[in-house]
Each structure stands twice: as C-alpha cells, then as structure tokens.
Amino acid sequence: MAGALHRVLPRFVTPCRIVTSVGDAVTNSVITETKAIDGRRRRQCDVFINHRGVDTKRTVAGLVYDRLAQLNLCPFLDNRSMEPGDKLCDNISSAISDCHVGIAIFSPRYCESFFCLNELAMLVEAKKKLIPIFFDIKPSSLHVTDHPNLSTQAIQRFNNALLEAKNTVGLTFDSQSGNWSELVTRTADIVVKSISNGR
C-alpha cells in the first residue's frame, strides 16, 4: 500500500531530499548514497564547505549553504548534511570525493582545527577547484606551527595545503564592515560558473 501511494503522490524535490505530501502530512525521505528510491540515487555533493564551525557556522558558512541550496545545488555542510548516527569521516570523505568545488572559509581559529586542515589537505590532494574566503584574516596569517599532537609530516602536509590556498585568488571579507549579501551572492556566482565550466 505504501509503495503504491509513493508512486502516485506528487513529489517536490529539494537538494538531497525528497518530500512526499499526503494532505496535511509531510514525510521526509532522505536518500542515501547506497539506497535507490524509484531508481534515483541521492544527488552527489556539488560543493564542499570547509570551515571552522566556532567562527563561521552561524554566519558565512550557513548563509552560503542556504544560497547554494536555493540554486538547486547540493552543498555539504556537516551540521546540515548529516544525521545522528552517520559516520563523520566516511561522509566527509565521500563528499570531498564527489564534489566539483571546495569552498575553504579561513577564519581566525581555522588553523587550530585538525579537521579543518585535514579537509583542506584532502581537497587539495584530490585536485578539486578551491575557492578561498579569507574571513577576518589575512592569507599571510595562515600557517601551522609545532603542535604536540601532530607529526612533522602532518604539519608539512597541512602547510602545503595552506600554501596552495594562499596562492589561489580568493575573496576577502571583514565581518564588521563588509557587505554580507554581496559576499554570499559573489561566492554562489563563482561556484555556479565553476560547475558550469566543468572546473
């Protein structure tokens, strides 16, 4: 019965999610990478948003995610793209592997995070197109120094990834005086153009 209903009911597709409407009741069915619904697989991640949550999750990262979703792209932002019980590393690795473009939002506490630096290194090593946003920080301030929990190899790997980002033309933004709408719109425009051009 449920299968028959699913076939005849109208569906409204949003990024990474199918919403099936029955009168006033709405059922959200998240499409996973491995499970097909009506022969369709979950859309692969188009854009991976690499960011330091404590600095940017409630501001630029969230705003950029929302704008890209409005454009019918499938962005990946950890707290928006995963559910309780999902495997963090597996989902992040898959999203980076699938994505066409990576947005790296550099902020004052970015380099304190192993996860931020590791994601950046993965994006660079996978040769993904990278769009840096320097949010309240100068590119020259980005570096990893000696850290008791990081090997010399890891520090070198992270600094190489940071160097690649610093040598890539990006956007700079001052959260006190910058135009938020312009930043979000410009970032989205660059992403759309990059995906349309295949890089």
162 Cβ contact partners less than 8 Å away, ≥ 6 residues apart:
111, 117, 120, 142, 143, 144
Instruction: Strand 11-14: give its sheet, edge to edge.
Output: 11-14, 17-22, 25-30
166 Cβ contact partners less than 8 Å away, ≥ 6 residues apart:
132, 139, 140, 142
Catalytic site residue from 33, 83, 112, 119: 119
Residues linked to residue 130 through DSSP beta bridges, in sequence order: 102
Q: Is 119 a catalytic residue?
A: yes
Q: What are phi and psi of 186, to 5 degrees?
A: -65, -40
With CA atoms as reference, report the closest residue to 155 among 164, 143, 167.
Answer: 143
> Strands (DSSP E) along 136-170, which ranges?
none
DSSP state of 6: H
The residues that are catalytic are 119
